[in-house]
Amino acid sequence: MANGLHQTMHQTLRHGGGLLGPGDLSQHLDIVRLRDGGSMTLRFVESDDAAALQDYFRGLSVASRYNRFLAAVGELPPGELEKTLHSGGNFFSILATLKSGGVDTIIGEARYAFDPVTAHFEFGLSIDDHLQGRGIGTVLLSNLQCRAVALGASTIFGDTLRSNEAMQALARKAGYSFAAMPSDWRLVRFEKSLDPTAETPCAGWRAHGREMAAAN
């Protein structure tokens, strides 16, 4: 996860008014179509996902974990895990799952933060190494853009390592532009303008956006 995301989360949490509780968040679930015709479920992380989420991170390759966290970590540190398990305010963690043998398996995740003052939406994401390169990151990114528009974001962005070709290729294909990060030469920022008034293909997020606006 990009360091910038931490900063934005703290800022947005300060700006955030009422928190949406896990009960509210669990109502929101997206089922999205994948390139191979299968479907993937996107839902908010909940407290009882802790062990499965850590297993997912431990199962990522060393390179993927480094790209995701910008540091050599084996799993989420306890403080980060705690934050990840409790979405609310303007800071959210979601899981991407596939059904395998009747069981939901985590195959990806994303964290995002929305700052209502700047209308900026920051995110980081990862996909299971065994499933990378199949268009799943593209679908997850598109869903994140829906969430951003529904929250009223005018800009969506992320920070990644200059060496992370996959993330930059994904962002380039999705129409993002790139800028150097003067604060950290290792990083590049990918960014895209959004039209907050545009119709989003994920209608469920309109309701979430309205709830967020009401809560803040």
Task: Enumerate binding residues for ligand COA (CB under 6 A).
Answer: 64, 67-68, 124-127, 132-138, 158, 160, 164-167, 169-170, 173
* Residue whose Cβ sits closest to ligand COA: 137
Our measurement of the distance from residue 189's CA atom to the centroid of its chain's CA atoms, rounded to an integer in Å, reads 15
Residue 144 CB, shortest distance to ligand COA, in Å, is 11
**C-beta of 110: minimal distance to ligand COA in Å?**
9
Name the residue nearer to ligand COA (CB basis): 31 or 214: 31
- CA dist 24 and 196 (Å) reads 23
Query: Quick one: which of 22, 79, 12, 77 has its CA closest to 45?
Result: 22
Residue 191 or 211: which CB sits closer to ligand COA? Answer: 191
Toward ligand COA, which CB reaches closer, 160 or 216?
160
Task: State in angstroms the smallest separation of the CB of 164 from ligand COA.
Answer: 5
Which of 153, 167 has the CB closer to ligand COA?
167
At residue 142, the 3 state secondary structure works out as helix
Specify the DSSP element, H or E, that contains 149.
Answer: helix 136-151
Work out how close the CB of 138 gets to ligand COA at its nearest, in angstroms, rounded to a whole number. Answer: 3
DSSP 3-state assignment of 162? coil
What minimum distance in Å lies between the beta carbon of 135 and ligand COA? 4
Kindly report each contact of residues 163-172 with a partner whose C-beta sits within 8 Å and lies 24 or more positions away, as own/partner.
164/67, 166/67, 166/132, 166/133, 166/137, 167/67, 170/137, 170/138, 170/141, 171/141
Q: How far is the CB of 23 from ligand COA (least distance, A)?
A: 29
Tokens of 114: 């929305």
Q: Which is nearer to ligand COA, 28 or 189 (CB)?
A: 189
Q: Judged by CB, which is closer to ligand COA: 99, or 130?
A: 130
Beta bridge partners of 126: 109
> Residue 128: what are its φ and ψ, rounded to 5°?
-45, 130
Can you tell me the distance from the alpha carbon of 75 to that of 105, in angstroms, rounded to the nearest whole number? Answer: 17
